[in-house]
Amino acid sequence: MRMATLCQINKNRIKNSILLLGFGISYLVIFQFSLLPQCPFKVLTGYPCPACGMTRAFQAILNGDIIGSFSYHILAFPLFVSFAVLILFLIYGMITNQDLVTKKVIPLLERYYSVIIILLLISWGINLYRGI
């Protein structure tokens, strides 16, 4: 029984560590080194994708321009706050040896996924209208 518990604790820590490492690498690639290519959807279709402007909006938020981030993408600030909370859950889960992502975050996403999709479609319509 004790060995199974230790194995589960190690799996939780490894999973949380990999997720945090992924967020860290994504931050470096996107915001520090600017290694992202152009949006493939926009290149192929000529229209902005549902997430077009999100990187610029996140950069504006990181520079303290929260109001300006809305001009790039209307859902950037709520998504940024969601990512910040997710990172805090990951760190807290690593400290307390809990899997909060599976217990708290995923059920929340499963419950509200239709609202998230509708908001994304609305913001896509706004991006299409503005021609971002």
Check whether 8 has a pLDDT greater than 60: no
Q: How far apart are CA 25 and CA 121, in angstroms?
A: 28
User: What's the pLDDT tens digit per position in 48-76?
Assistant: 888 888 888 888 888 889 898 888 888 88
The verdict on pTM exceeding 0.75 is: no
pLDDT score of 116 more than 80: yes
Average pLDDT over the chain reads: 78
